[in-house]
Amino acid sequence: MESSSVFRNPFRPGAGHTPPYLAGRKEERREFLKLLNQDVILSNLILTGLRGVGKTVLLDTFKPLAVQKGWLWVGADLSESTTVDEERLATRILTDVALATSNFVYDRREMRRPGFGHQVDLFNATLNYPTLHAVYEQAGGLVADQLKAALTFVWQALRASPNPPRGIVFAYDEAQNMADHAKKDEYPLSVMLDVFQSIQRQGAPFLLALTGLPTLFPKLVEARTYSERMFRVVFLNRLDPPDVREAIVKPIQEDGCPITFTEESIRQIEEHSGGYPYFVQFICHEAFDVFVSQVTTGSDNPSVPIEEITAKLDSDFFAGRWSRVTDRQRDLLYVVSRLDDPESEFSVQEIVELSRELPVKRFSPSHASQILSALINSGIVFKNRYGKYSFAVPLLGDFIRRQYPAELQPELIDERSR
């Protein structure tokens, strides 16, 4: 099987790695194009969903769409250290902008420069970081005022350049890491919202595109209530069955691929991946290597060792998160995993009632609420605006049930069926 050594495994289960074939997500791309076509920026984008649904990958595919439409693209991951205070956030944004604008040269005589006085003549005619930082420092006032001045200057300079762009997309991944810190009198999240709402209201076509876990949007609304009107929230769900099948089959239809998955193998991958892009890539990556090995050794009926792959997935994806959960938190999560549909929403009352029927210490409403708050902080659970909770990690319920011996999982009697 010489071709098997030449044809590399096409599947890429790494975090944020672009898959060989991006299945589905057509409606999300259409929604982004609508936002790019705004004459005045009235709506920004929040791309949210559980881990493993492909938020980062989809955001990366938006960049060429924006560039093709004449937009500049800036952005990065928003780590907690980047957003720990207002100054660091401002530095992050100005640095990102400068990377995209440092090649722009403008005619200073055509610039409208209110508020900068004669010192503006010291600026060079290039929109690099020294220029942006000088504008920022000379603007005075609060960090938000300085950042507004610098970004307004950027747009005025871009408009005065020979080939002005349509606008700038500010794309930030892992945006759920942003937070205000009242005890330290630092409000980086509020500053970002204030700055972009202000400059958009003045007509600057600067579009925010944020991705993050489902905790992101409630955080934004809590920081500034008007955030609810600033953003179009796109929630990424699992792929539809036809798209899952394409994600499995398309990468191995290339010339030179030494294997094909059997229909039974495809069905197993569809079922055990749950339609989540990361799990599709993970299982397919492992299955591809197994199939190549089996075909090379002369097997006439290669198959997917789903139990072994599931065990590796448990170790690589779930175990690290599970190890950070306390014993009592594990009890509560086990109760949730025994609900009829643990991948959907659940309530405190459901946990309290079901805990009476399972081999765990019962939960009171207040205790369940306290534990859920801790699990939210650790990124295991999130709470939506309707008072319901959900797992922030896909297929976590299946993993949890695998951690408990069968004798601790008695079949529950559905009282409603009596």
What DSSP string describes 327-358?
HHHHHHHHHHHTSS-TTS-B-HHHHHHHHTTS
Radius of gyration of the chain (CA): 25
DSSP letter at 12? -
Q: 10 Å Cβ neighbour count for 366?
A: 10
Measured CA to CA, the distance from residue 309 to residue 306 in angstroms comes to 5
Q: Domain residues of the chain, as ranges?
A: 26-236, 239-321, 325-409
- Comparing CA positions, the residue from 203, 200, 210 lying closest to residue 231 is 210
Helix locations, 203-305, DSSP H: 216-223, 227-230, 241-249, 263-273, 277-296
Q: Are strands 44-49 and 206-212 parallel, antiparallel or unpaired?
A: parallel
pLDDT of the residue at 110: 53
DSSP letter at 7? S
pLDDT of the residue at 295: 76
Q: Is 60 exposed, middle or buried (0-12, 13-18, 19+ CB in 10 A)?
A: middle
Tokens describing residue 157:
């300079």
pLDDT of the residue at 116: 44
pLDDT of the residue at 226: 87
pLDDT of the residue at 415: 39
The three-state secondary structure class of 145 is: helix
What is the chain's pLDDT, residue by residue, as a tens digit (418 residues)?
344 447 788 998 877 778 888 888 999 999 999 999 999 999 999 999 988 888 998 999 999 999 999 999 998 888 767 777 899 999 999 999 999 999 888 766 655 554 444 344 444 578 899 989 999 999 989 999 999 999 999 999 998 888 889 999 999 998 888 888 888 888 899 999 999 999 999 999 999 999 998 888 888 888 888 888 999 999 998 899 999 999 999 999 887 888 888 899 999 999 999 999 999 999 999 999 988 888 777 666 777 889 999 999 999 899 998 999 999 999 999 999 999 998 889 999 999 999 999 988 999 999 999 999 999 888 899 887 677 999 988 999 999 999 886 545 544 434 333 3
Measured CA to CA, the distance from residue 363 to residue 351 in angstroms comes to 7
Contact 49, 235 (CB under 8 A): yes
pLDDT of the residue at 211: 94
DSSP letter at 263? H
Q: Is 370 exposed, middle or buried (0-12, 13-18, 19+ CB in 10 A)?
A: middle
pLDDT of the residue at 181: 86
Measured CA to CA, the distance from residue 110 to residue 195 in angstroms comes to 25
pLDDT of the residue at 338: 94
Measured CA to CA, the distance from residue 418 to residue 414 in angstroms comes to 7
Contact 9, 174 (CB under 8 A): no
The residue type found at 8 is R
CATH superfamily of the domain spanning 26-236: P-loop containing nucleotide triphosphate hydrolases (3.40.50.300)
Contact 20, 11 (CB under 8 A): yes
pLDDT of the residue at 20: 81
Q: 10 Å Cβ neighbour count for 322?
A: 17
The answer to whether the Cα torsion of 89, 91, 92, 93 is positive or negative is positive
Q: Which helix (H) or strand (E) holds 159?
A: helix 143-159
pLDDT of the residue at 115: 44
DSSP letter at 84? S
Classify domain 325-409 by CATH architecture.
Orthogonal Bundle (1.10)
- Comparing CA positions, the residue from 54, 100, 107 lying closest to residue 76 is 100
Match 């530095």 to its residue by tokens.
Answer: 91
pLDDT of the residue at 184: 87
Measured CA to CA, the distance from residue 95 to residue 398 in angstroms comes to 43
